[in-house]
Structure 1
Amino acid sequence: MDKSSWKNAIRWVFVGAFLSAGVAHFLVTDVFVSIVPSYLPAQRKLVLISGVFEILGGFGLVIPSLRRWAGFGLIVLLIAVFPANIQMALSPEPFVEKGIPLWALYFRLPMQFVFMLGVWWCSQTERTV
């Protein structure tokens, strides 16, 4: 598989992940609200807004003319929701009780940076010489 094929395959993985996560924000809203740090206001609205942006970003990765902006927006979104990932790691009990391994809650933190890098890479247009 050449570089372009890899990039396209990874892009579709991200499209599926962001669309699925975005829809999940509307199907199991309370689960997402439970990981929003308590110091943030309007937690339910924040969850729904982030779900909308995940869906928009996922679709944006599919459309070549929007791909770069979608990548930028998704990276900003990943940064914006990072406090929720920290919250899960700092207060893991409810998630561990539901069967999520503690290591996964910690592993998720550095993986967000890998996701950001992956989104950036797959949202860049191939340049021809």
Structure 2
Amino acid sequence: MKVLKLIITFLLAALMLFGAFNHVYAPEIYAPFIPDFFSESFANIVSAIAEGIIGIALIVPKYRRWAGLGFCILMILFLPIHIWDFTKEIPAIGSKLAAGIRLAVQFLFIAAGWWIYKTSPKTT
């Protein structure tokens, strides 16, 4: 179980760091997911910072517990975007099936972040 947790933790860290990089390198990828009432550049900058911090913190054992909670919260904050995309006639992700799968994965991400938080040792 310990090895599985480390694998999942490092995969999520890589996902966060890749996402942070992409928000800066190729922000146009995320444009269809950003609601019109948000500034695209602001949303990309804030997302890049949050994802970068969480990604790095997931790697560092001392901060892993709080990074798991941060990941969980971030995924909850992103949940409305994926629900909104699923309800669109033509989802930004491509198809209704892809949007449905992405929405289901979002719930798995929330659970994974919570699991990391709850199973990581408390540090001072």
TM-score by length of 2: 0.83
Which residue in the other structure is 1:122 paired with? 116
Distance 1:6 1:94, change over 3 A: closer
Deviation of the 1:126 alpha carbon: 5.1
Tell me, which stretches of 5 or more residues in structure 2 are unaligned?
A: none
Identity %: 24
Tell me, which stretches of 5 or more residues in structure 1 are unaligned?
A: none
Q: Which amino acid aligns with 2:18?
A: S
Superposed CA deviations along residues 81-111 of structure 1, whole A, max 9, x for unmatched, are 2222123222353646xxx443111121122
Superposed CA deviations along residues 62-91 of structure 1, whole A, max 9, x for unmatched, are 111111111111111111122221232223
Kindly name which structure, 1 or 2, has the bigger radius of gyration based on alpha carbons.
1
Pairs aligned (count): 121
Q: C-alpha root-mean-square deviation of aligned residues, in Å?
A: 2.1
TM-score by length of 1: 0.80
- In structure 2, what is the Cα distance between the partners aligned to 1:95 and 1:89? 9
Runs of 4+ more than 3 Å apart: none
Deviation of the 1:58 alpha carbon: 0.8
SS of 1:37 mapped into structure 2: coil
Which residue in the other structure is 2:98 paired with? 104
